[in-house]
Amino acid sequence: MTELATEYLEVGSGTESRRIATLRRPGKAPGIFWLGGYRSEMTGAKATALDDFGAEHGLAVTRLDYSGHGQSGGDFLEGTISRWLEESLAVFALTEGPQVVVGSSMGGWLAVLLARHMHGLGSDRVKALVLIAPAVDMTEELMLKGFSKKELKALREKGVVEQPSEYSPDPYPITARLIEDGKRHLMFGRGIDVGCPVTILQGGKDPDVPRDHALKLVQHLLTDPVTFTLVPDGDHRLSRPEDLELLKAAVEREITVPPEQLTLDLGETT
């Protein structure tokens, strides 16, 4: 398997400029475009499994570290949904042809925002979305609404809340900047139109993004075909070998189904 060299892309200008690290595997379309979660890196288990899948099938695979993450520049505490979406769109622009966009947790929210943006431009380059425990509207629904009075006070007075995480020995900082910016991108409360099929993989024992939250997203996808798969004993990461096989199967299904087959299926639905 070809070893990939990290490439860098400058996003933003002036004081907003940051150096974004990417891993880009050349190959045929449809490609796979990976968006990771909050505080995750593009070399994680799911991203690596998808890259291996792409290499085996000769598919293009594109990954990135958001600013403040992994090998990218920038301060994590300056990170917002707006900044990370801008970076995701900039790296997506480097790809060619249709893409199956795969987003995990916060990356699921960014994937939906990216697909909606591209669809709004009249582009059909997002062939499908595959979302793993999608944390749509997480800043409001999964962070702010769960803060204690003490944490709300810290957010007001210090501009940051630190919460323990089972995924890291260090606490996860959540900034007032992130919470406030997130309000600009809230999606629940009105229909969401992404213009492509959506597959959702959700762990039944996910403590971070409960199944009801993922089902709430399903209820808002009013115009696009949706497949929802619950893994009863699955956790938030869904990174066990059997979970990774499920993920690869979901991506393979979206890659191999031709557009005309989707049109035929939709036409026969009553």
Catalytic residues, by residue number, are: 105, 206, 236
> Cβ distance 42 to 65 under 8 Å?
yes
Question: Would you state the structure tokens that stand for residue 62, as one six-digit string?
Answer: 């594109």
Q: Which residues does 236 contact at the CB level (< 8 Å), separation at least 6?
A: 105, 133, 203, 206, 207, 208, 209
> Cβ distance 239 to 45 under 8 Å?
yes
Count CB atoms within 10 A of the CB of residue 136: 27
Place of tokens 């398997």: 1
Q: How far is CA 96 from CA 24, 32, 33, 44, in A?
A: 12, 11, 11, 24
Q: Are strands 18-25 and 7-11 parallel, antiparallel or unpaired?
A: antiparallel
Question: Would you state the structure tokens that stand for residue 107, as one six-digit string?
Answer: 């990356």
Q: How far is CA 132 from CA 94, 219, 234, 246, in A?
A: 24, 16, 11, 11
Reduce the DSSP state of residue 199 to 3 states and report it: strand
> Cβ distance 160 to 175 under 8 Å?
yes
DSSP H stretches of helix in 93-201 = 106-120, 138, 149-158, 176-182
